[in-house]
Amino acid sequence: MSTVVLLAVTGLGLGGLYFLVASGLSLIYGVMRILNFAHGAFLTVGGYLGYEAGHRFGAQANSWPVFALMLVVGTVAGGLLAVLVELLLIRRLYEREIEQVLVTVGLGLAAVALVSGSWGSDARTFPAPRWMARTTSIFGADVPNLRFACIVAAVLVLLGLQLLLGRTRYGLIIRAGVENRSMVAALGIDVRRTFTAVFGLGGALAGLGGVLTALYNSTVSPGMGDSLLIFAFIVVVIGGLGSVTGSAVAAAGVALLQQFANYYASAGIGDLTVVAALAVVLLLRPSGFVGRQVRLA
Amino acid sequence: MTAPAATAVLAVRELDAWIGLQQILHRVSFEVPATGVTALLGRNGVGKTTTLRALLALVRRSGSVTLAGSRIDAEPTHRIVRRGIGYVPENREVFAGLTVAENLQLARRGPGGPDRDQLLTELFPDLLGRLAQPAGTLSGGQQQMVALARVLLNDNRALLVDEPTKGLAPRVVDQVADALAVAAERLPLLLVEQDLAVVGRLATRVVVLAEGRVVHTGPAADFLGDQAEVRRLLGVSGSNAGGANAGGGSDGGHR
Amino acid sequence: MTVTDPARVASPPAAPRRRSGRGLIRPAVVVLVTVLLALLPELQVQLPGVLPGPTYTAGTEQLLAGCLLIGALAVTYNLLFAVTGLLSFGHALYFAIGCYGFAILLQREHWAIVPAAVVTLLIGTLAAVLIGLVSLRVTGIAFAMVTLAFAQAGAVLVARNTGNLTGGEEGLGLTDAKLPAALLGVDNTQNLYWLALAVAAVVLAVVGGVVGSRAGHLMRAVRENELRVRVLGVRPYLVRLLSFGVSGSLATLVGMAYLLVQGGANPQITTSSFTLTLLVMVVLGGLGSRWGAMLGGVLYTLLDQRLGVLAASSGIAGLPAPLRVPLSQPAFLLGLLFVIVVLFLPGGITGSLARLAGRAGLGARPATLLAELSKAEAE
């Protein structure tokens, strides 16, 4: 029983990370029709800048205020980087969707290399409040607290996004834009500004995800974004492109599946199972379980 | 025949338009007077919808378009719309996942314009009880109401309306025509419509297209009264062409 | 009301004189270049800065062999993506099957080289066909994701050292393999070079043959307008499957040769980053032609290696940090180059050359395949 609880909480924690990355990807695709391959870079940069912010405090880095600062720095870094990318690069390629994807590919490669060059390619220990390293006992299982932190963060973000999408005008524009962006323009709304905002929001979520991923792994490394990104893409597609709720459900499902399969079968089977699940979902329902109909690339 | 620009709300000169690599419109020129309904007619696939979309910069186009004297052909869609053009697209294009209220809320561009509930009570009472309903679950006619209400909630200078009665039952067609008639009292309309009865009821002028070119402009009554011309240019006989339109909107390769 | 076929509108009016002229010049140039390339190991060509040494040295020969093979791989990707319009994020899988499959049979199972080669090629082809059967049931983004998923599965299998076959993170070297003497030893590196050249030539020839055949015509048609193909009574699914199978099979072949040239298999080739760099190569070279893809692959590999050497050099190490950091990372420079090409030179190298030669400026014809594909989406 305690194993199940541990696996479940670990899975949900990982799912939280997937959700943070996938929700941004999903919105970006939904509104802008871009497969953002630079998303991993936003995560990595957010994680590293958050690391830097905390690292400066030396021994005092393992405290809650510093951790809060790291979260903020990571989120803002991811968001700013994304906004810059959108304004300088993506906008020039309006209506050229394949080129937009390609540019994000190039950026992803370049950014990770730059991070590697600046901080070195070895993993670095990520400072965190001591509470994170301790465990709490639930139903007989000793669960590391940082898993809870990831779950809490993801749930807060989910609620925040629901509020944003459901209760604000911006959210209204985004939801409409996911369905039919040319009609949104035909209502007199400047969709380009929405694009920048959505891209920036996605980047910020990725940056936050970066700090939390580093927390989850206890390290930052240049490749951290890329490995997560594949699973995030899988989550986005299973959950449905453009759907935040879908991403949440899919993230939890995928992560849980991964954890349980990795444990009960053997390490690696979990990853394979997830991949198989993606293939199955796509073949049965190309639009994912919740989201909108996929269009031709 | 050209009317002086001062009485035209929309003046279109030498408009070319492309969808992808294919040129749809060729040097289209016409004017929409500041009052009344101008009907844009033609067989399926001649470029009527493309004309409206070109005016709104929703397709690639070149040429001159003037709204109440100012050039709008170099502007992006949202700016053109904000100058006061309301668009009711073919296929309505309401946002299925949003509620009726949200659809209307999204459409409202700013303060000014009629009160929503008052407008609905007056023209679309059906919608009053459905404000919380997702627009995707509405019937075709109800969706058309939403699409019309959207443009009437703003202070527009002109409306572009594309086949509003397509696929609707006769009773609903009448409702829509009634709403359009009320709208037409206050602002000019450029109306694409295949149903000649509706055209006959509402239109003051007609512009007829064939293969992406203007082939006739003039008073509506004159054109509609000339059965031979109507048959020649539209390929249908006289009054209610609603039936002949079955098979409707999907044409060769573009909308 | 007739719908003008956009492709027909876009093509320039046929210029028969030019076409037959092109028909003679092209093969002549190809033969000449091939002969020159074949002679390189015998010559003393030096390109300081570009090549690590004169062309008769083993280091240079191995580098060139690698370049030729990656170029050939890019050509197979070109068939899939540029000709048939299938954006696959998992093409590297078949290359990896060729490389790792061959390595496993040679190194772990100690097979002789010819049976191992035949079986590996069969496995790779079978994998491509089976995965294609499944993946091609969807199109567009879904297709891209399914191919990514399968490739990721392969990467996982390799990384976890499944069945102790793949060597995991360390890769799989050919230390115990029964290889013919002609392929062993530093002195025989030129044989590996010629092998690579031969494989590249075969790939180019096969792809060229497919592209010029009716099948190739159908593939291009399927890319642009499925309806046209259906009207001809052909199922687009089968056309795509053919393209997927052929390009996958050829990729396996290239992978096998790559194993021999490199002397081992490296898990890096199973990553999605690698397929993405394939995409970069094909775009860099120019989507319109397989020669562009070849050029893109060769250039990219060369640049990657050279930039890597440059990055490790003492000159760079001495620079101040803001300069040193970007210059010490080949991937950064290549990524940046790619972004610049996409933004400003959408036709890639061959596209830009063609434009300079004045051939691509005809009417409304877009200079690049990208533009064509993008415009088709905008409808």
pLDDT, one tens digit per residue, over C100-123 is 999 988 888 888 888 999 999 999
Q: Does some domain include residue B171?
A: yes
Q: Number of B:C CB contacts under 8 A?
A: 28
Share of chain A above pLDDT 90, in %: 36
Q: Does some domain include residue C378?
A: no
A120 CB near a chain C CB, below 8 Å? no
Q: Does some domain include residue B100?
A: no
Over chain C, what is the mean pLDDT?
Answer: 79
Nearest chain A alpha carbon to B150: A187
Closest to A141 (Cα-Cα) out of A11, A5, A260: A5
What does the pLDDT average to over A146-155? 90
Q: Into how many domains does chain C fold?
A: 1
In the predicted model, is pLDDT for residue C20 greater than 70? no
The closest CB to that of B89, out of A169, A186, A188, belongs to A186
What does the pLDDT average to over A42-70? 85
Sort out which chain A residues have CB atoms less than 8 A from C144's CB and list them. Answer: 35, 297
Q: Tokens 């899975």 map to which residue?
A: A11
pLDDT (0 to 100) of residue C359: 56
In this predicted model, which residue has the larger pLDDT, A97 or B178?
A: B178
CATH number at residue B49: 3.40.50.300
Whether residues A106 and C148 touch (CB distance < 8 A) is answered with no
pLDDT (0 to 100) of residue C94: 96
The closest CB to that of C279, out of A102, A282, A296, belongs to A102
Amino acid (one-letter) located at C257: A
pLDDT, one tens digit per residue, over B123-172 is 888 888 899 999 999 999 999 999 999 999 998 999 999 999 998 999 89
Q: How close A209 gets to chain B, by Cα (Å)?
A: 29
Whether residues A283 and C134 touch (CB distance < 8 A) is answered with yes
Q: How close B43 gets to chain C, by Cα (Å)?
A: 10
Q: Distances from the Cα of A231 to the Cαs of A23, A82, A288, A290, B129, in angstroms?
A: 12, 20, 15, 18, 44
pLDDT (0 to 100) of residue C184: 76
pLDDT, one tens digit per residue, over B19-74 is 877 899 999 999 999 989 999 999 988 899 999 999 999 998 999 999 988 899 88
Residue ranges of alpha helices (H) inside chain B are 48-55, 77-82, 100-107, 116-123, 125-128, 140-152, 170-186, 196-202, 220-225, 227-234
Q: Tokens 């990370």 map to which residue?
A: A17
Angle between helix axes C330-344 and C272-285 (nearest 10 degrees) is 50
In the predicted model, is pLDDT for residue B85 greater than 90? yes
**Residue C314 burial (10 A CB sphere; 0-12, 13-18, 19+):** exposed
Closest to A28 (Cα-Cα) out of A104, A88, A80: A104
Q: Assign B120 a pLDDT band (cuts: 50, 70, 90).
A: confident
Q: Which of residues 35-64 of A touch C (CB under 8 A)?
A: 35, 37
In the predicted model, is pLDDT for residue C244 greater than 80? yes
Sort out which chain B residues have CB atoms less than 8 A from A169's CB and list them. Answer: 105-106
Chain C residues within 8 A (CB-CB) of chain B? 1-4, 6, 9-10, 364, 366, 375-376, 378-379
Q: How close A24 gets to chain B, by Cα (Å)?
A: 20
Share of chain C above pLDDT 90, in %: 21
Q: Number of A:B CB contacts under 8 A?
A: 55
pLDDT (0 to 100) of residue B105: 92
Q: How close A176 gets to chain B, by Cα (Å)?
A: 6
pLDDT (0 to 100) of residue C207: 92
N-term to C-term CA, chain A = 45
Mutation site for B-interface testing, chosen from A183, A190, A191, A244 by largest number of B Cβ within 10 Å: A183
Q: Does some domain include residue B222?
A: yes
Measured distance CA(C188)–CA(C68) in Å, rounded: 17
Q: Assign C372 a pLDDT band (cuts: 50, 70, 90).
A: very low
Q: Does some domain include residue B44?
A: yes
Range name among A275-284, B240-249, C173-182, C294-303 with the lowest pLDDT average:
B240-249
Measured distance CA(A93)–CA(B172) in Å, rounded: 43
Range name among A178-192, A196-210, B225-239 with the lowest pLDDT average:
B225-239
**Strand bridging mode A135-138 / A141-144:** antiparallel
Q: Which domain holds residue B24?
A: 5-91+157-234
Q: How close A189 gets to chain B, by Cα (Å)?
A: 5
What does the pLDDT average to over C51-57? 74
**DSSP label at residue C180:** -
Q: Which of residues 326-365 of C touch A (CB under 8 A)?
A: 326, 328-336, 338-339, 342-343, 346
Neighbouring C-alpha atoms within 13 Å toward the C-beta of B126: 16
Q: Into how many domains does chain B fold?
A: 1
Measured distance CA(B14)–CA(B31) in Å, rounded: 12
Q: Assign A286 a pLDDT band (cuts: 50, 70, 90).
A: low
Q: Tokens 């000014």 map to which residue?
A: B112
In this predicted model, which residue has the larger pLDDT, C287 or B163?
A: B163
Q: Does some domain include residue B245?
A: no
In the predicted model, is pLDDT for residue C320 greater than 60? yes
pLDDT (0 to 100) of residue B98: 92
Measured distance CA(B26)–CA(B28) in Å, rounded: 6
Q: Which of residues 255-284 of C touch A (CB under 8 A)?
A: 272-273, 276-277, 279-280, 283
pLDDT, one tens digit per residue, over B169-207 is 998 999 899 999 999 998 999 999 988 899 999 999 999
Q: Assign B243 a pLDDT band (cuts: 50, 70, 90).
A: very low
Buried b (16+ CB within 10 A) or exposed e, C129-164: bebbeebbebbbbbbbbbbbbbbbbbbbbbbbbeee
pLDDT (0 to 100) of residue A295: 35
Q: Assign C193 a pLDDT band (cuts: 50, 70, 90).
A: confident
Q: Does some domain include residue B32?
A: yes
Whether residues C139 and A296 touch (CB distance < 8 A) is answered with yes
pLDDT (0 to 100) of residue C358: 67
Measured distance CA(C242)–CA(C216) in Å, rounded: 10
In the predicted model, is pLDDT for residue A15 greater than 90? yes
Residues B163 and B193: beta-carbon distance below 8 Å: yes
Which three-class secondary structure state does DSSP give residue B203? coil
Q: How close C283 gets to chain A, by Cα (Å)?
A: 9
pLDDT (0 to 100) of residue C16: 39
Q: Does some domain include residue C126?
A: yes
Q: Does some domain include residue C29?
A: no
pLDDT, one tens digit per residue, over A224-259 is 888 788 888 889 888 887 889 989 999 999 999 988
Residues C149 and A279: beta-carbon distance below 8 Å: yes
Please tell me which chains touch C, using 3 or more CB pairs under 8 Å as the contact test: A, B
In the predicted model, is pLDDT for residue C379 greater than 80? no
Please tell me which chains touch B, using 3 or more CB pairs under 8 Å as the contact test: A, C
Nearest chain C alpha carbon to B18: C379
C370 CB near a chain A CB, below 8 Å? yes
pLDDT (0 to 100) of residue B244: 41
In the predicted model, is pLDDT for residue C373 greater than 50? no
Range name among B63-67, C83-87, C125-129 with the lowest pLDDT average:
C83-87
Q: Assign A294 a pLDDT band (cuts: 50, 70, 90).
A: very low
pLDDT, one tens digit per residue, over A106-130 is 898 888 888 888 888 888 888 888 7
Global pTM value: 0.82
Q: Assign C376 a pLDDT band (cuts: 50, 70, 90).
A: very low
pLDDT (0 to 100) of residue C288: 73
Q: How close B95 gets to chain C, by Cα (Å)?
A: 19
A189 CB near a chain B CB, below 8 Å? yes
The closest CB to that of B22, out of C4, C366, C378, belongs to C4
Over chain A, what is the mean pLDDT?
Answer: 86
What does the pLDDT average to over C189-212? 89
In the structure, how many helices (H) and strands (E) does chain A have?
12, 4
Whether residues A175 and B98 touch (CB distance < 8 A) is answered with yes
